[in-house]
Amino acid sequence: MDTLDEAIEALARGGFVALEDHPERENEADILLAGEHATGERISYLATHARGLMTVAVADEILRRLEIALLEPRYSAPNAPRMAEPVDAVEGITTGASAFDRAVTVRRLADPHARPEDFSRPGHVFPLWCAPGGLAERRGHTEGAVALARLAGLRPVVAIFELMAEDGHMARDEQVREFARRHGMPLISVEELARHTV
């Protein structure tokens, strides 16, 4: 594991951070990118190399202000995140599906001047609700991503790519560490973040 300071610095300057979950929870890793630093090139890079689903961790107060409704969970697993209605930015995109269009939407979610009418619903970007109590309430990737953004002095909006191995299974353990080394990004854990923020 790398130091928390390295992760904070990387996220603050627009770099990537690998965030690993507890082995007894999901035991998976997500790759984080601060919402305000989202670009088409960075989103495309993560889509190519991390391979997994892209979502966006968003603080509860932002979803409320933007009137982005939570989806009602049904038959959900115990650790499942709370998803909100998918959105696209109204302006500055084409279909909403490209890496560049999704970057526009993510940056708009992180824009403190954004309004509810700036987003069409449904769209191609999937916000995840961060529990208001953060890591003290829920020890998930969503809360860890938002906690790291706050520590970095950033808006609590973070693009998340689930890390998938080349064989199509989720990357775990040494696969995660090797990915972080190969792509030059710090690797920290949700538990480490919780120790410093709860």
CATH number at residue 156: 3.90.870.10
Beta-sheet pairing, 51-59 with 29-34: unpaired
Q: What is the pLDDT of residue 1?
A: 64
State what percent of residues in the chain have pLDDT above 70.
Answer: 98
Cα–Cα distance measured from residue 90 to residue 169, given in angstroms and rounded to the nearest whole number: 35
What confidence tens digit (pLDDT) does each residue in 128-177 have? 999 999 999 999 999 999 999 999 999 999 999 999 999 999 999 999 99
Question: Which residue range forms the structural domain that includes residue 149?
Answer: 4-197
> Quick one: average pLDDT of 178-191?
96
Average pLDDT for 12-31: 89
Inter-CA distances, 21 with 81, 105, 106, 197, Å: 13, 27, 23, 16
pLDDT at 148: 98
Provide the pLDDT confidence category of residue 80 given band limits of 50, 70 and 90: confident
Amino acid letter for position 185: M
Confidence tier at 27 by pLDDT (50, 70, 90): confident
CA–CA distances in Å: residue 64 to residues 49, 61, 84, 193: 33, 5, 11, 25
Model pLDDT, residue 79: 80
Token pair 């020890």 is found at 139
The number of folded domains in the chain is 1
Q: What is the pLDDT of residues 102-138, one digit of tens each?
A: 999 999 999 999 999 999 999 999 999 999 999 999 9
